[in-house]
Chains A and B, each alone.
Chain A
């Protein structure tokens, strides 16, 4: 099983899907599904392999190569796994929509190019796949149409273009210096480079990866893009696409520059990893409060994606094996629960006729129990409630932060979690709990194929929460590959000197306690089931279906923090865009339309040349 074949299947599948779609939609769907499934199977066959191979096709005298190792495998698996689920989900979700050939083909193409970025063995093919990923994503973000989606698309692609341009400069700068772009070879060379260049490259790369990872202050594209994309694609965006930025950071910091270089780059306390960590911390807190202010189900999730990225960066930048494991594991966890949550939000949207406004939903728990369970579990994972997967990774991150003596960063992380709790509950409450509005009386449950991914992901969240050792062993191998000391992972958790985590004990205790309480409730208490609206109101009648307390759920908090958590970065960027527009408007005025002026420009140019030469004779 080779990576070339994998890439070939992925890219070819994308194109073939489009062609088949012109023949028959059913064939197209089947093929897309089959293709995604085949890719998952293939990548799982590649587990544990490690090799690097040159591609037959060079580019401008550069050798291109692909490689496979634990790091690549880890990311590839998330990409292809979520890709498969997303395709399954799309089968029903996207039914009866327009441009499905285009949708499936682009979706698979994005997956293929993401796969390409992680298996690329040299920076050029990395860049090429990266760009393909960027523009194909742009093509899909605006699929829904409408001014918001279009604006989101343009915002995304401009930010992404900034990122890829800086990355191009960085890559070429490396190429100019070392005459190779193979990641492994560069790793050897970079050690010998000058501080100045290392910093130059580091900063430029970081801008790219921070942009795509949507960290503050380059997060602004994400909330729009993720909220406006169609839900299966939002899941891909949030779960795997933005995490390509982390993959890049891994490559940059550990596979290429290495610790010694990073250490040398420090200037007092102002080291690279500190800056990165603080960016992560700011992102966490800011995103948490921004998410709190949102009233759109997908926008909440989008902001949470921003914030969770901050956790991962925190973990990565701490650069201990614990932190690294935490960060890496969090990538996997986030990928699972955010995909789940987007699927749930999409299902709600699908059944309620496109409603994402949290103020107008409510009480859907009885109507869509699967969605509710998925949503609740997903939110628990997001918060990091013990016994869900998010808990383990967050615990690792916190612990490494505390042990490394970074209490302020830890503070930001904790505070962000509390923000998460607030908006997570709001998500659950406003959609599923409370009164069921009358117009949703006849809402049906989730269709089967949409429920499948939701169930799978729900199960995974529990599985990884209770038996974190399974994914952690992979994560640990990633860490080892990057040069970290191996963690002593057992299937139950991570033992260590100060503060062990044993999830199974927790589970057992909770199960026993819960069982006892439940017994007490069942055995002693006698209860009758009553209707949801049959409530106590001190004698006053509560109007049915109209008295759902959701609007302004946290309004006192908004009043306090609202003025401070405006997205001023976004406003700033938009202002810059506005300025650019007006500068353009002014610039074009030099073309006045009067031909005499134009001739004057020519003569002026000539005269200026001559004058300068006569006066100073520089030429």
Chain B
């Protein structure tokens, strides 16, 4: 009964959306803003990766929000899991095998390096702060899985989160005082496109984001792992 009703209702919605989609031809150029970005993105932001120029340039404010969302989720998860579970019970876990342990320790810096590469080169190649941050966090996940006793230091992770966010906001606020008087305006020299040191504040922000996301996701993993034990 319930399924039947759901199907009928969803069918109605599907029909409606389908009718609208008829207006949005697939695979054709329909955009207005996007075209402009492609045309002038390099000149405006100095980033070769137009997606990055959108994410950290044109729509950097969204990204700030996005960072905040992740921050909220991490803090919120911490808050939700913190209450009532502070009993400090720790099951003794069976340590991982030596191979695994060594492998993890071996891979950990490499993954970190890879992550850093991704977010440092965000304005040049596919990738960026979020992607890099996620890779960094996966390194920590690996450590949690392979080296079960190890924990990240909350103080450090918190400080990283904080500083990452502060850098982002601070850079943005500096824009208010800098030439354009605009929040998050790209006031640093843009350099030559396709060079590492180019695109003004974009790489700096992406690095900050990378650290922050890495720390946050690691924190989330940490919270959940702690809870599951």
Instruction: Spell out A's residues near B (CB within 8 Å).
Output: 596, 600, 603-604, 606-607, 610-611, 613-614
Which chain B residues border A613 with CB–CB below 8 Å? 16
B19 within 8 A of A: yes
Q: 1/0 per position for B1-31, CB-CB distance to A under 8 A?
A: 0100110011011011001000000000000
Interface residue tally for chain B (C-beta within 8 Å) = 10
Shortest C-beta distance, A464 to chain B (Å), equals 74
Q: Measured between alpha carbons, how far is A614 from B12 in the docked complex, in Å?
A: 9
Which residue of B has the minimal Cβ distance to A596? B2
Cα A603 to Cα B5 with chains together (Å): 11
Query: A615 — nearest CB in chain B belongs to which residue?
Result: B12
Q: How far is the CB of B131 from chain A (nearest CB, A)?
A: 32
**Residue contact A611 to B12, C-beta cutoff 8 Å:** yes
SS of A interface (majority): helix
- Chain A residues with CB below 8 A from B15, complex form: 610, 614
Quick check: A607 and B19 within 8 Å, CB to CB? no
Residues of B near A600 (CB, < 8 A) are: 5-6, 9
- Given A600-B9, A607-B12, A614-B16, 11 more A-B residue pairs with CB atoms under 8 Å apart are A600-B5, A600-B6, A603-B13, A604-B9, A606-B13, A607-B9, A607-B10, A607-B13, A607-B16, A610-B12, A611-B16
Contacts of B19 in A (CB 8 A): 614
In Å, the complex CA distance between A614 and B22 comes to: 14
The residues of A that contact B5 with a CB separation of less than 8 Å are 600
Inter-chain CA distance A603–B15, complex, in Å, is 14
5 tightest A-B CB contacts, nearest first: A610-B16, A607-B12, A607-B9, A611-B12, A607-B13
Chain B residues whose CB sits within 8 angstroms of the CB of A606 once the complex forms: 13
Interface pair A603/B6, CB less than 8 Å apart:
yes
Complex: how many Å from CA A613 to CA B13? 11
For A611, list chain B residues within 8 Å (CB): 12, 16
Chain A positions within 8 Å of B9 at CB level? 600, 603-604, 607
For residue B12, which residues in chain A have a CB less than 8 angstroms away from its CB?
607, 610-611, 614
**Complex formed: what's the CA distance from A614 to B19 in Å?**
9
Instruction: For B6, list chain A residues within 8 Å (CB).
Output: 600, 603
Cα-based distance from A578 to B188 in the complex (angstroms) = 72
Q: In the assembly, what is the distance between CA of A273 and CA of B13, in Å? A: 59
The residue in chain A whose Cβ has the minimal distance to the Cβ of B13 is A607
Q: Are A603 and B16 in contact (CB under 8 A)?
A: no
- Smallest beta-carbon distance B5→chain A, Å: 8
Q: Which residue in chain B gives the minimum CB-CB distance to A604? A: B9
9 A-B pairs in the complex with CB atoms less than 8 angstroms apart = A600-B6, A600-B9, A606-B13, A607-B10, A607-B12, A607-B13, A610-B15, A613-B16, A614-B19
Cα-based distance from A607 to B13 in the complex (angstroms) = 5
Q: How many Å from the CB of B38 to the closest CB on chain A?
A: 34
CB A327 to nearest CB in B, in angstroms, measures 64
Question: Which residues of chain A have C-beta atoms less than 8 A from B10's C-beta?
Answer: 603, 607
User: Separation in Å of the A580 CB from the closest CB of chain B?
Assistant: 31
Query: How far apart are the CA atoms of A64 and B5 in the complex, in Å?
Result: 59
CA of A613 to CA of B10, assembled, Å: 15
Measured CA separation A596–B5 after assembly (Å): 12
- Give complex CA distance A604, B10 in Å: 9
B13 contacts across to A, CB distance below 8 A: 603, 606-607, 610
